[in-house]
Structure 1
Amino acid sequence: MKKFFFFAFAILSVQYIFAQTPSAEISRDSHGNKVVKGFLTKQELLTDTAFAWFPSGQKSFTPNADAVKSFAAGKDAVNILVFGGTWCEDTHMALPHFFVTADAAGFSPDRITLIGVDRSKKTLYNLSEAFGITNVPTFIVMKNGKEIGRVVEFGTTGYPEREVAEMVAGAAKK
């Protein structure tokens, strides 16, 4: 009986500790930009007026048809980690295009994890260090918990959403 109570107490304690853990820290940089350090959602980017760049960037973008097909081909095979800076102009340009392309392909939002970094490329829980993030945005394609590729900033072609889509399609074939 003592073991049962100890086990129940341990489970409740762990749940309480993790319930108190913040998912993001919010601050302002010297330019007045809202900086999110930690986990964010696409919905937050769409609805927070501090991120007007996100819905604006989505409205003005038409996804490449081949990229949409590539995303769709592997939409159930991978997860994508995206490190970005809410203060970063490169993120402001690339992130809306990435989401428009993923959405057009029916890529589940549950398979995309968006992580905000501060100007020094740090985030909560040392995730940026764990994944070796030096520039943002960085898109990391994962399959079965392993990295299969990444696109940093605008990649090699200037179209990061297309490069990510090619990796997603490639992962589906393996």
Structure 2
Amino acid sequence: MKQLFILLLLTHSVVKAQQYNNSTIDTVKNKKMLIGYCTREAFQDTAFKVWFDEQYNYYQPDYDVLNKLESKLDDISITIVMGTWCSDSREQIPSFYKILDELNYSSEKITLICVDRKKKGISDEADNFNIELVPTIIFYRNSDEIGRIIETPAESLEKDMLKILNK
């Protein structure tokens, strides 16, 4: 009985792990791209690490704005829909993660969905978000959408985020 339990537990763990950080080949550029639900750790794959780390390290957050944001994140969750093939996603998402790191924002409150060029995930992960451009960063307060940053920020990621959280 104990062996059966361990086997079931291992099978569940393998299946659960396969639900995240899946990749496929972008037929336009013939390069690897992430698809479906992902975790930030997926960006440490060699296909994504260089551009992610380079932009993350390059970005300099506006700390005056971050100080104003710090107290506004308690009841906020975030969904990010992006394409690893997309230049705007490659610029904005590492920068956004740097902001969240500076704010000590919990990764457990982030849902990351990677899509293909048709804005589709593996199945229907992104279908209910009305995604036209990527990246799209959606902010929720107590499960209610309060705003989005779509493709590129109007002012800066921090300032746009502050405007959304002040609603």
* Fold shared, TM-score > 0.5 on shorter chain: yes
TM-score using structure 2 length = 0.81
How far off its partner does 1:111 sit?
Answer: 1.2
How far off its partner does 1:41 sit?
Answer: 1.5
CA contact (8 A) 1:40 1:115 kept: yes
1:42-61 mapped onto 2 (5 Å cutoff): 42-45=40-43, 47-51=44-48, 52-61=50-59
Amino acid at match of 1:128: A
Q: What does residue 161 of structure 2 align with?
A: 164
Q: Which has the larger radius of gyration?
A: 1
Matched, 1:133 2:116: no
Q: What does residue 108 of structure 2 align with?
A: 110
Distance 1:115 1:71, change over 3 A: farther
Superposition misfits of 4+ residues, deviation over 4 angstroms: none
How many residues are paired up? 153
Structure-2 separation of matches of 1:88 and 1:156: 18
Aligned-residue sequence identity (percent) comes to: 30
1:147-170 deviations in Å (ceiling 9; x for gaps) = 11111011322x2343124323x2
Structure-1 separation of matches of 2:105 and 2:68: 11
Amino acid at match of 1:105: L
How far off its partner does 1:24 sit?
Answer: 4.8
Alignment gaps of 5+ in structure 2: 1-7
Alignment gaps of 5+ in structure 1: 1-11
Structure-2 separation of matches of 1:31 and 1:37: 15
SS at match of 1:34: strand
Of 65, 68, 87, the match for 1:67:
65
TM-score using structure 1 length = 0.78
CA contact (8 A) 1:71 1:102 kept: no
Structure-1 separation of matches of 2:159 and 2:125: 25
Structure-2 separation of matches of 1:50 and 1:150: 28
1:18-29 mapped onto 2 (5 Å cutoff): 19=15, 22-29=19-26
Cα RMSD, aligned residues only: 2.1
